[in-house]
Chain A
Amino acid sequence: MRWISILLGLSGTGAVGFFAVREIIMYPMYFFELFLGGLTRGSIYALIALGYTMVYGIIQLINFAHGEIYMIGAMTALIVATVLGMWGWNTAVIVILAFVFAIVYSCAYGFTVEKIAYKPLRNAPRLSALISAIGMSLFLQNYVMLAQTPDYLPFQSLIPDFQFWEPFAHIITSVEITIIITTVIVMILLGLLIKFTRIGKAMRATAQDKVMAALLGINVNNVISATFVVGSATAAIGGVLIACHVGQINFYIGFLAGLKAFIAAVLGGIGSIPGAVLGSLVLGISESFFTGYFWSEYEDVFAFAILVLILIFRPSGILGRHDTQKV
């Protein structure tokens, strides 16, 4: 029995491997396009996943309302861009203001959600805060649906097709390359923030031991707020970028994007910032290959299957730490 299953496994892997190698050799450009598409997708996941992983690292809470913060970022950018567009403002100014407003609004929402829904439950059982998070997510979705519209809204791309990018545009569009570059810049800035600034050091200390951080004079509540604000800002950037890429948004986009980013964060090892980035890229690229080579309609099934597999075989993720429980 055992050798039969090994044989089957090997021949299966061999067949898939043979198929993959043949495809890659015959259509290398297609492979490359899928890879870049996955990189773009992974970049967006990473921008959202950072918020999940940072919040989890500090208060051990899966902030299920985080996807909604991302959606609010995209919505705000849409409103700002539409209004300023009607007034006939310069495109560059519109882009900058759309990003600024999206970030400010998302940060304000992230900050407020923490104060209203999580802070009062700081010492309650973890499940209470988790349920509060799901409630907040539903509330924000319905609030945006009622305040705006349940329909899909067209989102005119804020990022123009760059002239100089023309020769490469058939491989990767201006929007996609902008997404990748912006993500890299955001990651570098975030890394510097965490490593060298005062608030970054306070975040790392608080994530490792809240009581000790307080005993050294760190205001833990402020650090938690700052974490929500930073996570919301990166999610807002992701929201605006993806809206430019997809070209339409509605109140519901945060739900699936939030779940995917959550999967990416778990895949990388929740609580770990490099893990979130790595997990996002792995998820984005493998999703892209899966839809490109197999069945595109099973894209979400594939992502959730990955979640189930990680939770069974490696619950701490790729870069997760096996923290021993303190007694």
Chain B
Amino acid sequence: MLKLSNIHTYYGNIHALKGIDIEVEEGEVISLIGANGAGKSTTLMTTSGIVPAKKGTIELNGEDITYLPPDDIVKKGICQVPEGRRIFPYLTVAENLDMGAFLRNDNDKIKQDLAYVYELFPILANRRNQAGGTLSGGEQQMLAISRALMSRPKILLLDEPSLGLAPIVVKQIFSIIEKINQESRTTIFIVEQNANLALKAAHRGYVMETGRITMTDTGENLLANEDVKKAYLGI
């Protein structure tokens, strides 16, 4: 469904992605794990068109989307929840969700989807008139995921959904991610430093080191792999 082939991305002179190949099939949960600075977030930002690739191609269902501007990529059905959640701090929870549906005109279905995300995260319904900036970290992550869901994405890109959250909240978030994948058949691509959680949730995983993909396998096999255990699971 989504296919990155030989992607090279630069920040100025820094060669952040050095020829990446990733393939995501419809309905899958894919995890990309790796250390700080490996280029995981850059992979997502390149896919979303924020930091366009210098070389290589990104295809969505066979269509080349490598050099589309970010808003057109969202129109194609790829929506990202970026690192740090990036909630609009002075918009209310309801307005934040409304921004997620910015490109849609089907008001009836927007209402349905709103009811769906409030059901997934009831706390958001309670806080709907509160400014986004006043939410706790966990609530902000829930809001960020819900906001992305409001765009009805075909592929949801999640950047470090566990970052800075209490373990119990992380568990809750991951169980909801799996629920979203199963209920609405949304394809999910997770970037995580928490390798254990990410690989458990994923069908397949990729391991990344300094701008290159070094390993790919099913989530279970990667969890069992000696090198992965040593480097990322601390076992």
A-side interface residues toward B, CB under 8 Å? 198, 201-202, 204-205, 208-209, 211-220
Contacts and interface: CB of A to CB of B under 8 A. Distances in A.
Interface of B: 48-50, 69-71, 74-75, 79-80, 82, 86, 88-91, 95, 98-100, 102-103, 147, 151
Given A201-B102, A204-B91, A208-B88, A217 B74 contact: yes
A272 to B, nearest CB: 10
Contact of A215 (B74, B89, B95): B74
A209 B50 contact: no
Contacts of A216: 74, 79, 99-100, 102-103, 147, 151
Contacts of B147: 216
The prevalent SS among residues of A at the interface is helix
Which 3 pairs between the two chains have the least Cβ-Cβ distance?
Answer: A217-B74, A214-B70, A212-B86
A76 to B, nearest CB: 34
Given A216-B99, A216-B103, 9 more contacts: A204-B88, A204-B91, A212-B82, A214-B70, A215-B50, A215-B80, A215-B82, A218-B99, A219-B69
SS class, residues of chain B in contact with chain A: loop
A12 B66 CA distance: 69
B91 A217 contact: no
A217 B103 contact: yes
A298 B86 CA distance: 48
27 contacts: A204-B88, A205-B88, A205-B99, A205-B102, A208-B88, A208-B90, A209-B88, A211-B82, A212-B82, A212-B86, A214-B48, A214-B50, A214-B70, A214-B71, A215-B82, A215-B86, A216-B99, A216-B100, A216-B147, A217-B70, A217-B71, A217-B74, A217-B75, A217-B102, A217-B103, A218-B99, A219-B71
Contact of A208 (B70, B79, B91): B91
Contacts of A217: 70-71, 74-75, 102-103, 151
Contacts of A219: 69, 71
A212 B98 CA distance: 14
A219 B86 CA distance: 17
Nearest to B45: A211
A66 to B, nearest CB: 24
A201 B82 contact: no
Contacts of B151: 216-217
A216 B102 CA distance: 7
Nearest to B88: A208
A201 B99 contact: yes
A211 B82 CA distance: 9
B13 to A, nearest CB: 15
A205 B91 contact: yes
Contacts of B49: 214
Contacts of A209: 86, 88
Nearest to B100: A216
